[in-house]
Structure 1
Amino acid sequence: MVSTIAEKVIPAGLEAYAALDKRLLLAVKGINILSTVSWPASLEDRMIEAYGKGQYALPEVGYHKPDLSEVRKELEAIEKEAGDGDPIREYLRRTAESWRVAAEMLEAVGTEGVTAPSIQLYGRPGDAIPGSHYSNLDAARYFVELSDELGADMADDDIVTNISSELLRKDLSTALDDFFGHGVIAVEVDNDLTAKAAAGATRIRLRGGTRFSQYDRHQLLNHEAYVHSLTALNGREQPVLASLARTSPRVTATQEGLAVFAELMSGAIDIARLKRISLRILALDMALNGADFVEVYRYFNRCGQSVGDSFHSAQRVFRGVPLCGGSAFAKDNVYLSGLIDVHTFFRWALKERRMDLLRYLFAGKLTLGDVMSLEPYFQSGALTAPRWLPPWMQHVHGLAGKLAFSLFINRVRMSKVEAETLSTGL
């Protein structure tokens, strides 16, 4: 016997899980993290013009503080009802908990009270990297230093930002229609968007008035479309856990890490991109240790970013928090740590001959732990396999080749390599 929710067939015995998941989605419908902490585009334009003239006043940012008290009560009730002892129960409880922490964070918007819950959700720069003696901060410093060392020898002549947002919109629309089907994902230009781009299940937005490079195009396709939009669309296919279509706070690190990993696997990432991601982590650490907005802005500017890019980068660090130092919005911490975790997971899956787990990772918005704990439900069919996979995941032999080489080459200890040993000439 089966029942249906939202016209999807629910396997017998899992109706209660599906109903609780539906309650969860309804409860968090009004929680919009990034839009709550974002700055008005008009303020950014005005301040960027002033900073370009050397007028470094702290921006005056106002926020609308939401009342999410009823939402928090419902999430607490869902946490309690979900309990534990079963992978789906555990998924529902942890997901509800992460949304509750996010609600507490948003109710503190504009105050230093945003910092602690944002760190709880996204981590801090000094967090250790699993399986190593290094921290996320160590990794960030490494990529910045490497980029700076290589920069003197690498010309940027081929990185030209000559693609308008409207031209890119048309180009991406054609590519996405070919991949997902006509009209499945719309591409729009948004003049109020703070980030260069943002992706949902059926819409990708590009910041108006911005010019893009071919690297940007490849990154948008592989990062935004073939991960963020793709996993959202696959999540919508799920009969039991419809919440897998939405990025809960607890899956942010895996989602962003997977998106940057997709750039790496598809050749859409360059060393400058790794540097930008890493600089944000170093800037987060600066802000948490007392640097104010202007100091963080100047740091980005000294590191080679333009006035506009430096302002936008600093703004990401200070979203939703006071600008006087000691506070930060920690989301940008997840890009590098998530990349490292996802890369490690892919290598582990290859070593264990578990490529099936890698495919499950695209079935919705999941953490790495979810993929393993929910495996029995994928095998039974209660959770559906992904309808779409990124192009680079569809060529399993090519992916396996890259990962196999990565696994072996890690045995080579660079500390024991000298230039003389690399010469094979007689």
Structure 2
Amino acid sequence: MSAADGTVAPELRRYAALDQRLLAAVRGIRILPTVAWPASLEDRMIADYASGRFALPQVSYARPDLSAARAELAAIELAAAEGAQVDPLGDYLRRTAESWRIAAEMLESVGTAGVTAPSIALYGRPDDVIPGSQRSNLDAARYFVELSDELGADLLADDSCVNVPADVLRGDLAATLDEFFGAGTINVEVDPELTAKAAAGATRIRLRGGASFSAYDRHQLLAHEAFVHSLTALNGRRQPLLASLARTSPRVTATQEGLAVFAELMSGAIDITRLKRISLRILAIDMALGGADFVEVYKYFSACGQSAADSFHSAQRVFRGVPLGGGAAFAKDNVYLSGLLTVHTFFRLALKQRRMDLLRHLFAGKLTLHDVIALQPHFESGAILPPRWLPPWMQHVHGLAGKLAFSVFINGIQLNRVHGDELLASV
């Protein structure tokens, strides 16, 4: 049965109704705004830290009462579980409701160490093992940091000028996005209160006011924010069966961020410095969990070459919503590298199995890798629509297949078995 006309088959209406209940229940659950720090505090503390005046920031949070939302989500979990053995839609809804419930519990503990455990449940730990490997996310982070440090002295930045004001970049991005998605589909705004350098929703991309950007930043913002985060949200809004596919639930964060960083890789918008920055955050989460306080983590980022402002913002990401004295952390930044590695493996596996359809379906909304496979019957029936938009690098399937095919084959060559004289003799 096709859903192209916006209708839902009678046998699926129960799941569509549960999905609407889910969206209504989570309307008041706002993860990042709840744990955010005020920009005025950051500006004052950065100036102090840059001058060597170190003290733990004094941060207070408004703790929400999400008890009603939690109760409704628990009821949705129970109702969805009853259909989980019959239809993968039930399992999708159960998993999604569960992740939102855990997020609600986390936010109700904001400002305490109680944030740590649910954030780990949602985003993982630095020492989690990477699928298909015997090594952990922490091992990968150390590898990229060490590699970046070893190569740093020999690499010259191709685009070292960071001189494009946010207002100028806003106009440039808006013109590019109008051409790709259609005029007015996505608005680009400058937000002086934004902690991250950029953030994306379905119809809005925000840039941090006062920040300067490079041409490389522009490339990365398009690949990561616009052509993954905004694109999947817009595709999700077209879904007649599961409206929640337009919303980033906590359980899809790892896939969404991994896919966004993978998009940087595929479109040439990532470099070793970016990989180092992502990796340092994982090492910092591990430090905080081990007892390091905010100042110690700040000094770690600073010793690794980051500016005072970047070091403060990096440390702030680790300590969002938790006490600053050590032993607690907000684990979200754990997902960027683990997500990248897992998504990369998924793309290679899909190519090996000649399943390019799985890769296209990954952009149909806010999905996990598990969802893409489990919900295939509904993609095949038309109940879940294929994506309306695909990133530029996904539109050139032969180029993507070439990169992945090379990756699949070359992975079998063990560098520890290769000697320089063998290479010279073979060419």
Report the TM-score range of the alignment, normalised by the length of the smaller protein: over 0.9
TM-score, normalised via structure 2 length: 0.98
Mapping of residues 206-285 of structure 1, within 5 Å: 206-285=207-286
Which residue of 1 is the match for residue 67 of structure 2?
A: 69
Residues 119 and 330 in structure 1, CA contact (< 8 A), matched pair in contact too: yes
Residues 127-157 of structure 1 deviation map (CA, whole Å, 9 limit, x = unaligned): 0011111000000000000000000100126
Q: Match of 1:33, as an amino acid? A: I
| CA RMSD in angstroms, aligned pairs only | 1.5
C-alpha spacing 1:412/1:242, structure 2 compared with 1 (3 Å): same
Which residue of 2 is the match for residue 298 of structure 1?
A: 299
1:418, distance to aligned residue in structure 2 (A):
2.2
Which residue of 2 is the match for residue 366 of structure 1?
A: 367
1:12, distance to aligned residue in structure 2 (A):
2.8
1:228, distance to aligned residue in structure 2 (A):
0.2
C-alpha spacing 1:213/1:111, structure 2 compared with 1 (3 Å): same
Residues 159 and 214 in structure 1, CA contact (< 8 A), matched pair in contact too: no
Distance (Å, rounded) in 2 between the aligned partners of 1:17 and 1:328: 36
| Secondary structure of 2:206 counterpart | strand
| Secondary structure of 2:207 counterpart | strand
1:378 matched to 2:376? The reply is no
TM-score, normalised via structure 1 length: 0.98
1:158, distance to aligned residue in structure 2 (A):
2.8
Of the structure 1 ranges 153-162 and 199-208, higher mean CA displacement relative to structure 2 is found in: 153-162
Distance (Å, rounded) in 1 between the aligned partners of 2:327 and 2:420: 45
Residues 17-43 of structure 1 deviation map (CA, whole Å, 9 limit, x = unaligned): 111100000100111000000000000
Which residue of 2 is the match for residue 52 of structure 1?
A: 50
Which residue of 2 is the match for residue 346 of structure 1?
A: 347
Of the structure 1 ranges 414-423 and 134-143, higher mean CA displacement relative to structure 2 is found in: 414-423
1:182 matched to 2:183? The reply is yes
Distance (Å, rounded) in 2 between the aligned partners of 1:2 and 1:270: 42
Q: Match of 2:140, as an amino acid? A: A
Residues 3 and 384 in structure 2, CA contact (< 8 A), matched pair in contact too: no
| Secondary structure of 1:376 counterpart | helix
Mapping of residues 24-423 of structure 1, within 5 Å: 24-83=22-81, 84-85=84-85, 86-156=87-157, 158-423=159-424
Distance (Å, rounded) in 1 between the aligned partners of 2:308 and 2:65: 36
Residues 50-79 of structure 1 deviation map (CA, whole Å, 9 limit, x = unaligned): 001100100000000000000000000100
Residues 159 and 216 in structure 2, CA contact (< 8 A), matched pair in contact too: no
Q: Match of 1:75, as an amino acid? A: L
Distance (Å, rounded) in 2 between the aligned partners of 1:387 and 1:9: 17
Gaps of 5+ in 1: none
Gaps of 5+ in 2: none
Identity of aligned residues (%): 73
Residues 75-97 of structure 1 deviation map (CA, whole Å, 9 limit, x = unaligned): 00100111121200000000000
C-alpha spacing 1:425/1:131, structure 2 compared with 1 (3 Å): closer
Of the structure 1 ranges 230-239 and 414-423, higher mean CA displacement relative to structure 2 is found in: 414-423
1:417, distance to aligned residue in structure 2 (A):
1.6
| Secondary structure of 2:10 counterpart | coil
Distance (Å, rounded) in 2 between the aligned partners of 1:419 and 1:108: 56
Q: Match of 1:311, as an amino acid? A: F
Distance (Å, rounded) in 1 between the aligned partners of 2:419 and 2:56: 50
Residues 286-308 of structure 1 deviation map (CA, whole Å, 9 limit, x = unaligned): 00000000000000000000000
1:3, distance to aligned residue in structure 2 (A):
11
Give the count of matched residue pairs: 424
Distance (Å, rounded) in 1 between the aligned partners of 2:268 and 2:426: 32
Residues 192 and 208 in structure 2, CA contact (< 8 A), matched pair in contact too: yes
Distance (Å, rounded) in 2 between the aligned partners of 1:3 and 1:278: 42
